[in-house]
Each structure stands twice: as C-alpha cells, then as structure tokens.
Amino acid sequence: MIHHLRGRLVEKQPTHAVLECAGVGYLVHISLTTFERLGSGEDLLLLTHLVVREDAQILFGFADAEERELFLALLGVSGVGASTARMILSAMDAQTARAAIQSGDVNAMKAVKGIGAKTAQRIIVDLQDRLGNETPGGSVRKVAGEGHNNARTDALTALTTLGFDRARCERTLDTIISESPSALPVEGLIKLALKRL
C-alpha cells in the first residue's frame, strides 16, 4: 500500500490533486476538506489510501491522519464505498462527521448525497462505539487554503464530478451567489451547494 506521498503540488481541483514525486505525477482523489487545506505549487505531504477494484486502482489523499482514519472506518461499513466516504468527508470535516456519528445524528448523515436513512443508521450503529473509544490522529501538515479566480466554474465542475445533475447545480450555485453579500471561495460555494442539493 502507498502510505503517503511527498512532493510538489502541480494541479489542484476540488475533487483531485496531482502531486509530482521524483518526476512521477500521481493523481490523488481528495475530499473538499483536504482541498481547502492545500496550498499551491509547494512541497507537501499527503497521506494516502489505495483502493483496488477489478476495473481500477484509485489513490485517495488526506491532509491529516484523522481524515484518513475516518475514511477507512467508513469503508468498513456495509454499503459504504470509497465515493460515499469521500462525499461524507466533503460535506463535513472529519471532526464534524465523527461528532455526528458519536452523537447518533442520523439527519446529519442523511444530508449527504447518496446516503439514505438505512445507510445513515448503519454507519452510526457500526461506528458509534468504535469512534467513541478512539482518539483522533494528529495533523500531518497544515497547508493554507487558496481561492480560485472562477469559483462558480470550479464549484460546478466539482459537483458534477461528484455525480450531481449539472442543470440543478447551476441553478443552486446561482441562487447561492445571488444571496451572498460578498464573493465566496470555491469551497464555500461547494459546501453550501451540498446542503441544498
């Protein structure tokens, strides 16, 4: 298994990053939470987890150990795959998700796209005791967030990549932008949109 990558960030999108390590560029799928913490063009460390399927090998990256631990715990729940786990960690950070699971907040889990009442209850039942006995992992490296020139376009790309309908995303983003008194960064737009979609 690839435990981590240390290298130069050469591309950053809300759903993935490309890290160049010793001349090799690794496409790493990330959550919105990790995206918010990535700088630009700098050397950084990403913890990783490699998901091997019959048709693909997908590398997921995390800004800290707590996010990776929760991702792996979610993968252990029946009916929760890597995409769903990433969706949860995009809708809320690891601490918020952990708190929702520990407190048995089914509605917080159901608010995530693709998670129904049964799956939300299963996540809570399977992980509530486990997470209650674990201590969160420490941060590997804090990295500063950075805005984008065209936040709406980046947010739309991220949301459609996550599986949302393009037309619905466009309407939702336009509504959020019109209601906001000031310009929102791309991660802010995505988080607000995830709550409405």
pLDDT tens sequence across 89-132: 999 999 999 999 998 899 999 988 888 989 999 999 889 877 76
In order of their start, the domains of the chain are 4-62 (2.40.50.140), 65-133 (1.10.150.20), 151-196 (1.10.8)
What integer pLDDT is reported at residue 41 of this predicted model? 66
SS3 category, 3: coil
In order along the chain (197 residues), what is the average pLDDT of each group of 10 residues? 90 93 94 89 88 92 94 91 93 92 90 89 88 48 37 83 83 86 83 86
Give every CB contact of residue 13 below 8 A, 6+ residues apart in sequence.
Answer: 35, 154, 157, 158
What integer pLDDT is reported at residue 132 of this predicted model? 62
pTM (predicted TM-score): 0.69
What are the backbone dihedrals phi and psi of residue 58, each rounded to the nearest 5 degrees, phi first?
Answer: -120, 125
DSSP string across 127-191: HHHHHHH--PPPBS--------S-HHHHHHHHHHHTT--HHHHHHHHHHHHHH-SSPPPHHHHHH
